[in-house]
Amino acid sequence: MSETAPSHFIRQIIDRDLAEGRNDRVVTRFPPEPNGYLHIGHAKSICLNFGLAEDYGGVCHLRFDDTNPEKEEDEYIRAIQEDVRWLGFQWAGPVRYASDYFDQLYDYALELIDNGLAYVDQLTPEQIREYRGTLKQAGTPSPYRDRSSAENRELFEKMRAGEFAEGEAVLRAKIDMAASNMNLRDPVLYRVLHASHHQTGDQWCIYPMYDFTHPISDALEGVTHSLCTLEFEDHRPLYDWAIDNTSVPARPYQYEFARLNINYTVTSKRKLKRLVDEGHVDAWDDPRMPTICGFRRRGYTPASIRRFSEMVGVAKSDSVVDMGMLESAIRDDLNTNAPRAMCVLRPLRLVIENWPEGQEEMLTAPMHPQDESMGTREIPMTRELYIDQADFREEANKKFKRLVLNNKEVRLRYGYVIHAHDVVHDDDGEVVEVRCTYDPDTLGRDPEGEDRKVRGVIHWVSAPRSQPCELRLYDRLFTVPDPTRLEEGEDFLDYVNPESRVTLTGARVEENLAAPEPESRYQFEREGYFYVDPDSRDGAPVFNLTVGLRESWPRDA
């Protein structure tokens, strides 16, 4: 195990189990349901399960919980595998499916029936809910609860043979209808579902429930530590019941940890699917989505998400993490690893009147100011440039440290000192061109003269030698920290941020980024970190804003 690995209660459990000889190695599993794309909460679970297995020299299985074929798709199966690999992990052995164990699960269900621990119930779904009771009132036993084992086996075999319609019969565990834990009040183990399965086809018309499938699958795979989020804590007694009352070959144990909740977003698959289906975002991989593929398309790195998961830690109680923590993780990563470039988001033409027509001069700039190993880049200086509209004002107070008409001089980044003396307006009175002069003796040195003080530094690109590009500026998807905390009559979609994506089609970037490498990342100086979107084509690059250079949103009190 890594000496620098952060300690938490699950590590302490594993250390104890290994020391006491309960386990001789660690086997974990990541068991997603293939009914949607994985989100940032799943990323924490992936990092925990695979990371623990790595640290202890064990193995982690990827097992799809595919017991609900009506909502599952091969698309999701492929996407989940890609997400796990992208995060830097590899599962042990083949991809596993709960459906791989349908035969064994059926046999264990028969074993429970034969031992008088399960029965076929023919109450309607509504009656089953009614008979279940409430938190304050014990449940009522089904009139079918005391059938003989032989009768129950015969009925269960008829269920498998397709002789019951959906809702006509279920297999229930016989536990305790007065249990304080509602999950132990004779939970359903199997239901009839006449649906084709993406792995088993039409072989089955009955499907096991998750609470039965999960422990049995863990036992069959030799899982030692079955790690779940806190919502499964009340299900653990049923997990143990299934293990203790069947002849499974191993004894796994379930442990629960706090799920990852981040403000200004949602992680419910149902809500995420609504965002996609109703057109509030483009797709599951829209960079505004909290899906792993969405973060990938926004420009997040696997290292940053793994680092974020480590920063969040593993706790026993739920909490909400500020989005700024995730942004800090990617900002720290890209600050070290992203090469630099200049990009003008909203171009304003600047003409250097004393620069000779047609003259070009190549200026040298570092690819990274703190990492000489990245090398340098050449930037063409020409008579006509573009600067950002935000970097010029005709009049300004002393706090504005950029270019002002007939005011102090400013320096062009990596270039000369200039002075603005005139502007050109359009018919609406808007400034469309700034005219200035430059001092040829100021490349790499301060201007001479006691009264000459450089006001600031602005970025720029050559007008004829820059590349048009599209920028997609992303912000938080919701306008409130908790879009699920709703008043009566409200919908979480009411709080979708209309400014969560702003597209700039007239931006200009250094010409060496006319055909950037796919999936590359850059710091556009003074603007933020950007990622090359898959929509890019040679000569028409598209960049997504990953994160700004500094935190701009206030933290919640």
Residues with catalytic annotation?
33, 259, 269
Q: Is residue 144 within 8 Å of residue 120, measured between CB atoms?
A: yes
Torsion of CA 384, 385, 391, 392, to 10 degrees: 10
Q: Which residue shows structure tokens 């100086």?
A: 525
d(CA 404, CA 421): 9
Full 3-state SS string of 535-547: CCECCECEEEEEE
Geometric angle at alpha carbon 443, from 437 and 448, rounded to 5°: 75
User: DSSP 3-state assignment of 332?
Assistant: helix
Q: CA torsion angle for 415, 419, 421, 423 (degrees, to 10)?
A: 40
Contacts of residue 447, defined as CB under 8 A and 6 or more positions apart, other chains included, come to: 409, 417, 439, 441, 454
Q: Which two tokens stand for residue 269?
A: 């698959």
User: CA-CA distance, 134 to 153, in Å (whole number)?
Assistant: 30
**Residue 517 DSSP class:** P
431-439/361-366 β-pairing? unpaired
Give the SS3 label for residue 88.
Answer: coil
Burial of 124 (C-beta count, 10 Å sphere; 0-12/13-18/19+): exposed
> Which are the contacts of 528, defined by CB distance < 8 A and separation ≥ 6?
545, 546, 547, 548, 549
Cα separation, 39 vs 53, whole angstroms: 21
Which string of DSSP letters, residue by residue, matches 241-286? HHHHTS--S---EEEEEPPPEETTS---HHHHHHHHHTTSSSSTT-
Residue type, 78: R
Q: Left if phi > 0, otherwise alpha if psi is -120 to 50, otherwise beta: which for 8?
A: beta
- Other beta carbons less than 10 A from residue 375's beta carbon: 10
Q: How many CB atoms neighbour CB 178 within 10 A?
A: 12
